[in-house]
Amino acid sequence: MKNLIGSSIKDLENIALDYGQAAFRGRQIYSWIYNYKNKNKNIDQIEVLPLDFRKKLKDDGFKVSELSFQEKRLANDGTLKLLLSTGDHESIECVGIPTEKRLTACLSSQVGCPMDCKFCATGKDGLKRSLRASEILDQILFIENVMNRKVTNIVFMGMGEPLLNIEELLLSIRSINEDFQISQRKITVSTVAVPKMIRKLSEKSFQILGNCQFTLAISLHASNQKIRETIIPSAKNYEIRNIVEDSKQFVKDTGRRVSFEYLMLSGVNDKLEHANELTSLLRGFQCHVNLIQYNQIDEVDFKRASLNNLQLFKSRLSDNGIAVSLRKSRGLDKNAACGQLRQNSKNK
Ligand code: SF4
């Protein structure tokens, strides 16, 4: 694989030297790739390079990136959802979520997902394969290209379970941080939690990145083990209390905070008794709970909790001393739920 995206400045200088060019040619490639204003990301467009150097790179199979555009949906609130094709004809989704000051890219880490969460369209088809770091990073280029803005924040909340693709995840974070110039503190890695992997994530992060400064968001979605297993079948391998203990260890190891994501599902986990149970589970842990409105999908029976239940739940957690926010759903009018666009495209 000779994708240039994800290459460090040193890597590109070395490529230039290998081709008998001066090192600054590598730096020119570097500046060109990571400048969002350069739209058409192919080697022909790097006009500062000599023609014969561009030709040699192409003849030897180098590309800037390998994903291709398949479909886009723009919601009324400006949220952009992209369906992209990989070189082996799989489809992945990514989302650009704009506000006045930020552009957050929601990235996929796998094609499909093995975790089979019952509320999720991506989980329906299982896992095809994990993405390479270059394919993860390419999603940022596409979002910047279509939205004509620089991405400022990253969330790994798209298709896939990032902790089942740790090496490529961390290689992509290195590049997001050093090449795309996005601080690790503006990156959130979201996981449904896989046994032993929270510890491995911090260990590997110190090995690969030299530190661990991103935020970890754990998709808890339940206040007890029984409810969790009904909505996340893979949860049977990982006791909810152990997830909280491992999260505390992550905070100790890294100094970073952990947030718990809680999808509010009507009649499943949205009662005050659940808020009280969640309080008992998290009491004494300096964490943050994000309550999320559910984007309903056709194939499953779960329903979005009412706004009233959401507000009551939030107030109860807050009264109980738990830091809590309500995360508004964006892009509701355009298949905003994870995996929906891909699913629709397959059905067509
Ligand atoms: S919610 Fe996330 S972890 Fe669960 S099946 Fe969907 S993509 Fe996978």
What's the whole-number mean pLDDT along residues 295-307? 85
Cα dihedral 106, 111, 114, 117 in deg (nearest 10): 40
Q: Quick one: pLDDT at residue 334? A: 46
Mean pLDDT score of the chain: 93
Locate tokens 């995840």: which residue? 169
Ligand 1 midpoint to CA 221 (Å):
12
Q: Quick one: pLDDT at residue 338? A: 63
Q: Are 172 and 131 in contact (CB under 8 A)?
A: no
The residue nearest atom 4 of ligand 1, judged by CA position, is 117
Which tokens in the block code for residue 286? Answer: 């300096």
In this model, does residue 1 exceed pLDDT 60?
no
Q: Quick one: pLDDT at residue 65? A: 87
In this model, does residue 100 exceed pLDDT 80?
yes
Q: Where are the beta strands (DSSP E) in the chain?
A: 68-74, 80-85, 91-98, 103-106, 110-112, 127-130, 153-156, 187-191, 215-219, 258-264, 288-293, 323-327
Helix axes 133-147, 166-178, angle to 10 degrees: 40
- Identify any residues that bridge with 81 across adjacent strands, giving them in sequence order: 73, 95
Q: Ligand 1, residues 107, 111, 118, 122: which to mutate, most atoms within 8 A of Cβ?
A: 122
Give the pTM: 0.93
Confidence grade of residue 241 (pLDDT, cut at 50, 70, 90):
very high
Q: Quick one: pLDDT at residue 331? A: 60
Confidence grade of residue 47 (pLDDT, cut at 50, 70, 90):
very high
Of the candidates 236, 131, 154, 134, which has an alpha carbon nearest to the alpha carbon of residue 192? 236
∠ CA 134-136-140, nearest 5°, is 100
124 compared with 84, residue with greater pLDDT: 84
Confidence grade of residue 299 (pLDDT, cut at 50, 70, 90):
confident
The residue nearest atom 5 of ligand 1, judged by CA position, is 123
In this model, does residue 205 exceed pLDDT 60?
yes
